[in-house]
Structure 1
Amino acid sequence: MRTALLLLALLFATPALAQYWDHYSNARFGYEIDIPPGFVGNGESDNGDGQIFYNLEAEQSLTVWGGALLGDFEAMVAEARMADERVNWMLSEQASSPKWASYAAQRDHRVIAERLILLCDGESYAAFRAEYNIRDLVKMDKVIEGLKRSLEASAC
């Protein structure tokens, strides 16, 4: 009886064990982030600043990138938000500190969640942007929290 229960427990545990997150590290800018299950990379960009990951079945994308600051971090974040607003993304939440910023917005049936962090040199940043259907809003909450937690500088 115990053996049958153990086999039954393993059968139901297998899908949960298969849900491990992958990891992406960027050597050019020195940042890293965990990639959720179901997202497949499209290969690093030609200039080495990041990569786009897709979950085609769920109509979701995750773009991660690094860049050089052209001025103040907080001003760059404000410009990124304004650029989204200019193309009709309606800001739904935002939070920031001198070293990180996050915001979310909605347009039609799509949602974006973006996070930017200042990197160790103080002259560059790393970011991610997730885009998904509003029907996945609740399901994506934990994914976005995991992305926010895992985005960090690796070259300090």
Structure 2
Amino acid sequence: MLKIWGFFAFLTVSFGNAQSKNAFVQANLNYDNYCNVRFQYCVDYPIQLMTPEPESSNGDGRIFTNHKHEETLRVFGRNNLDAEGRTISLKQQFDADLKSLAKNTATKITYQKRGKTFFVISGYKNGKIFYQKTILKNDAFAYAILQYDENERTVFDKISTNIFKSFK
């Protein structure tokens, strides 16, 4: 049975188990690519699961929503300067983001990693799973933040791999 909500079409099929259904959904996803001209980053997103909202008025990024019109993926860029105009290192931004996330008592960080040109932070925030990848690109930071309900984990955990591998 095909169910349509707005721009989304969801296929409801009876399978023996949830793993089979998730494998079917993942195998039949098509991806589109969003590239940001201002900060020169690109990311792929599954068109059956996300709808792109208009690009922000200042041209720094875009929000993608799910079939419930909830934010699922947010991508944006910003200059790597502090309020006084000094350059911020990747380590400084990583530490600042961890500190900011720790202030929220509804956030639990379960994974963090910093490389030469990127960092990743993931966990639970406000009852949802979140993955954040930040890359240093052309003297700016580009962010991709994916969030979704835990009951969507089996689908989105695999989709997140495609999204974050494409984020460059």
TM-score range, shorter chain: 0.7 to 0.9
What TM-score do the two structures reach when normalised by structure 1?
Answer: 0.79
User: Structure 2 vs 1, CA of residues 75 and 20 (structure 1 numbering), >3 Å: closer, same or farther?
Assistant: same
The one of 83, 87, 93 equivalent to 2:111 is: 93
User: Structure 2 vs 1, CA of residues 59 and 29 (structure 1 numbering), >3 Å: closer, same or farther?
Assistant: closer
The answer (yes or no) to whether the contact 1:59–1:133 under 8 Å persists in 2 is: no
Where 2:74 maps in the other structure, the secondary structure is strand
Higher RCO, Cα 8 Å, sep 6+: 1
One-letter amino acid of the structure 2 residue matched with residue 79 of structure 1:
A
Over alpha carbons, which structure has the higher Rg? 1
The one of 66, 74, 83 equivalent to 2:77 is: 66
Aligned residue pairs total 136
What TM-score do the two structures reach when normalised by structure 2?
Answer: 0.74
The one of 138, 143, 162 equivalent to 1:127 is: 143
Aligned-residue Cα RMSD (Å) equals 2.0
Structure 2: runs of 5+ lacking an equivalent: 1-24, 82-87
Report the structure, 1 or 2, having the larger helix content: 1
Identity %, equivalent residues? 22
One-letter amino acid of the structure 1 residue matched with residue 44 of structure 2:
D
2: distance between equivalents of 1:76 and 1:49?
18
User: Structure 2 vs 1, CA of residues 85 and 16 (structure 1 numbering), >3 Å: closer, same or farther?
Assistant: closer
